[in-house]
Chains A and B, each alone.
Chain A
Amino acid sequence: MTKLGQWLCGLALLGSAWAALALAPPELQPPAPVRQALLPLPFYLLVAFGCYSLATVGYRLATFNDCEEAAAELQEHIKAARADLHRRGLRL
């Protein structure tokens, strides 16, 4: 199954469970406090995911390594490479 397929299945499952509880006829409805939390639940989850995303990307951005040493080392290597290649006969 493709990832899209997995997502659609998952959403269909959760969606129908939520709809069944939210749209239940009066006799089968869950108690009032549960209903109050249940109805806006999809929205809350979306907002929670949004916050998680922002926090995660922000954290990863802040901890993104800057390779100063590697860059300096590369410059050294480039100098050595050009000298050595010239010695061996490379003509640019």
Chain B
Amino acid sequence: MAARGPERVSVLLPTYNERDNLPLVVWLLARTFSESGIDFEIIIIDDGSPDGTQEIAQQLEKIYGSDKIVSWSLFLFSSGTAYIHGMKYATGNFIVIMDADLSHHVRLLYVLKQKEGNFDIVSGTRYKGNGGVYGWDLKRKLISRGANFLTQVLLRPGASDLTGSFRLYRKEVLQKLMEKCVSKGYVFQMEMIVRARQLGYTIGEVPISFVDRVYGESKLGGNEIVSFLKGLLTLFATT
């Protein structure tokens, strides 16, 4: 049976303290999908945020309707468990995973690209085409490019951006990958792409604009770099 294109897209949005960004992200997604006529739902999975994110999510559910917005509140989870939980309730045949912190400018290109190439996964890249970043200083750009270079040399992943986490997956593909991946945090995002290649799934790329968090702070300190290197070496030795 030939694989179908997106008939309904489920967007999984794990949140923690995103009270300010959440309504904006939901509004952008809702508008983008309805303008293109693609059926969608947004599944918000909140990690017990103390700032009232859950309350905002419930208001949005009332505004847009429960067939379009579903919100959950869990506690002490990793993004991996958030996705597993979200997927159980997702009714779409394609799943979008993205951050709720307005760092990804929501684009319709994903769905279009998938249709164009019938890809199993469409991944956003900051490094190709007219993809890029906004509000990054030289140091941050250098670290990003350096880390990506190292990743390309060691893992040869076949995708230009492994740590950007704006992706569209065919539902069965995501389920299979979630079973196989064992890392946590953003290393988990990297592992998904590496395993996807090993399993022979097709990956298309779309340039994305990574606009630095509008609300809240982004971290890129020594700790993040060390844990990135540890994760990279672990993937190097185990995949």
Question: For the complex, is A68 an interface residue (Cβ under 8 Å from B)?
Answer: yes
Bound-state Cα–Cα, A53 to B141, Å: 16
Q: What residues of chain B lie closer than 8 Å to A89, measured between beta carbons?
A: 59, 62-63
Q: How far is the CB of B6 from chain A (nearest CB, A)?
A: 23
> How many angstroms from the CA of A66 to the CA of B140 in the assembled complex?
13
0/1 per residue, A74-92, Cβ < 8 Å to B?
1001100110110011111
Q: Which residues of chain A have C-beta atoms less than 8 A from B154's C-beta?
A: 3
Q: How far is the CA of A39 from the CA of B239 in the complex (A)?
A: 34
- Chain B residues positioned under 8 Å from A3 (CB to CB): 154-156, 235-237, 239
* A73 and B156 form a contact (CB under 8 A): no
In Å, the complex CA distance between A56 and B160 comes to 14
B156, A67: Cβ atoms under 8 Å? no
B143-176 to A contact mask, C-beta < 8 Å, 1/0: 0111011000111100000000000000000000
Within 8 A of B (CB), among A21-49: none
Chain B residues near A51 (CB, 8 Å)?
Answer: none
CA distance A71 to B211 in the complex (A): 6
Give which listed residue, A57, A66, A73, A92, contacts B56 with CB less than 8 A.
A92
Q: Which residue of A lies closest to B102 (CB)?
A: A74
Task: Give min CB distance, A87 to chain B, whole Å.
Answer: 10
Q: Decide yes or no whether B222 CB sits under 8 A from chain A.
A: no
> B114-138, CB under 8 A of A: which get 1 and which 0?
0000000000001100111111101
A4: interface (CB < 8 Å): yes
The answer to whether B28 has its CB under 8 Å from any CB of chain A is: yes
Q: Which of A57, A66, A81 contacts B132 (CB 8 A)?
A: A66
| Residue of A53, A60, A61, A67 with most partner-chain B CB within 10 A | A67
| In the complex, B230 has a CB within 8 A of chain A | no
The closest CB in chain A to the CB of B207 belongs to A65
Give chain B interface residues in 40-74, CB to chain A under 8 Å: 56, 59-60, 62-63
State the CA gap A74–B235 with chains docked (Å).
Answer: 35
Q: Are B131 and A65 in contact (CB under 8 A)?
A: yes
Contact A66 B239 (CB under 8 A): no
In the bound complex, residues from chain B placing their C-beta under 8 Å from that of A17 are: none
Q: Closest B residue to A88 by CB, please name it.
A: B63
Beta-carbon contact of B141 and A61 below 8 Å:
yes
Q: Are A90 and B214 in contact (CB under 8 A)?
A: no
Q: Which of B24, B102, B148, B237 is the one whose CB lies under 8 Å from A4?
A: B237
Contact B27 A64 (CB under 8 A): no
A57 CA to B138 CA in the complex, in Å? 13
* Among B138, B209, B238, contact of A70 (Cβ-Cβ < 8 Å): B209
With an 8 A cutoff between CB atoms, is B80 at the interface? Answer: no
Interface residues of B (CB under 8 A from A): 19, 23-24, 27-28, 56, 59-60, 62-63, 102, 105, 126-127, 130-136, 138, 141-142, 144-146, 148-149, 153-156, 209-211, 214, 235-239
Additional A-B contact list (6), CB under 8 Å, known A64-B127, A66-B133: A2-B238, A3-B154, A65-B126, A65-B133, A73-B105, A85-B27
A and B contact pairs by CB, cutoff 8 A, 8 listed:
A3-B239, A4-B237, A61-B141, A66-B133, A68-B134, A70-B211, A78-B214, A90-B56
